[in-house]
């Protein structure tokens, strides 16, 4: 499973959110990091088809997202940074709806599986509006994972979770990748980016200013931690990454 971007760009008026970008990601866990406003969420939304680029082309496993959006989107599991859940639905109803959209085989079994995985079985018939923030986040994660998509796009997946669930989620991401899925993660938790990602893209003002393994980036920045390396490459005072 691969993502390929060719000359993709996005503007909001005079603001360039994503500068012309060529990129290929496939068969790996890839991190997309940057400060707030760097363009991470905009880029992820273009990959999932929620936003249309002003120029360029997005392909999901060779499928042109513009020409065949339904087929491309069926292969994607997406967690937005701020999931919008239908407050009057239950977790079970929402997952049933998502399973239908994705044409998930044996949907009842899949729904049971992900409700159990995220500790939601006892809340399956509770209204989403009555759930805690952490519970809602688990429901949103379930909608991304259901059907075992070949491409996972996860925007701040660890936010709002307890430590045990964060660790379990990290294990699940690794397991999905071992089974052939491509995973793109955006997170401000550098510990997890360092642990999970084979490759990291550092975004600054809509452009990829650095790309490499966490170890290579730490070495280049002469940093003892990946957090320090991130600060080095995203600092406005760094002449090598000015845009």
d(CA 146, CA 63): 21
Q: How confident is the model at residue 237 (pLDDT cuts 50, 70, 90)?
A: low
Pairing of strands 151-155, 63-64: unpaired
Helical segments of the chain, H only? 40-48, 69-73, 91-101, 107-117, 133-145, 163-178, 190-196, 214-221, 226-234
Architecture of the domain made up of 2-75+149-241: 3-Layer(aba) Sandwich (3.40)
Mean pLDDT of the region 78-102? 96
Q: What is the value of pTM for the model shown? A: 0.93
Question: What pLDDT does 30 receive?
Answer: 98
Cα-based distances in Å from 140 to 8, 59, 91, 135: 28, 25, 9, 9
pLDDT by residue (tens digit) across 145-181? Answer: 999 999 999 999 999 999 999 999 999 999 999 999 9
Q: Is the pLDDT of residue 7 over 60?
A: yes
Within the chain, all domains assigned CATH 3.40.50.300 are found at: 2-75+149-241
Do 205 and 18 touch, CB atoms closer than 8 A? no
Q: How confident is the model at residue 87 (pLDDT cuts 50, 70, 90)?
A: very high
Mean pLDDT of the region 97-125? 95
Instruction: For the chain, report the end-to-end CA distance as a whole number of angstroms.
Output: 32
Residue 4: strand, helix, or coil: strand
pLDDT by residue (tens digit) across 24-69? Answer: 999 999 999 999 999 999 999 999 999 999 999 999 999 999 999 9
Question: What pLDDT does 71 receive?
Answer: 87
Pairing of strands 207-212, 63-64: unpaired
Structure tokens at 39: 């363009």
Q: Is the pLDDT of residue 107 over 60?
A: yes
- pLDDT > 70 fraction of the chain, expressed in percent and rounded: 97
Average pLDDT, the chain: 95
Q: How many CB atoms sit inside 10 A of residue 71's CB?
A: 13
Pairing of strands 55-60, 63-64: antiparallel
Structure tokens at 178: 């071992």
Q: How confident is the model at residue 218 (pLDDT cuts 50, 70, 90)?
A: very high
Question: What pLDDT does 241 receive?
Answer: 61
Q: Is the pLDDT of residue 239 over 60?
A: no
């Amino acid at each position: 499973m691969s993502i390929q971007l060719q000359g993709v760009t996005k503007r909001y008026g005079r603001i360039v959110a994503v500068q012309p970008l060529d990129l290929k990601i496939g068969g790996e866990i890839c991190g997309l990091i940057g400060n707030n406003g760097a363009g991470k969420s905009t880029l992820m939304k273009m990959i999932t088809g929620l936003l249309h680029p002003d120029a360029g082309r997005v392909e999901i496993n060779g499928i042109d997202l513009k020409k065949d959006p339904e087929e491309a989107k069926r292969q994607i599991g997406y967690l937005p940074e701020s999931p919008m859940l239908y407050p009057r639905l239950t977790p079970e109803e929402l997952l049933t709806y998502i399973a239908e959209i994705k044409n998930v085989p044996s949907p009842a079994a899949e729904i049971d599986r992900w409700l159990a995985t995220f500790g939601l079985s006892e809340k399956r018939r509770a209204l989403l509006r009555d759930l805690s923030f952490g519970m809602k986040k688990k429901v949103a994660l379930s909608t991304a994972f259901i059907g075992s998509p070949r491409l996972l796009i996860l925007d701040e997946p660890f936010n709002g979770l307890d430590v045990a669930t964060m660790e379990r989620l990290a294990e699940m991401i690794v397991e999905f990748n071992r089974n052939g899925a491509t995973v793109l993660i955006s997170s401000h938790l550098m510990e997890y980016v360092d642990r999970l990602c084979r490759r990291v893209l550092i975004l600054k003002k809509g452009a990829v200013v650095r790309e490499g393994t966490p170890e290579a980036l730490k070495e280049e920045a002469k940093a003892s931690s990946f957090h320090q390396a991130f600060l080095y490459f995203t600092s406005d005072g760094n002449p090598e990454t000015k845009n």
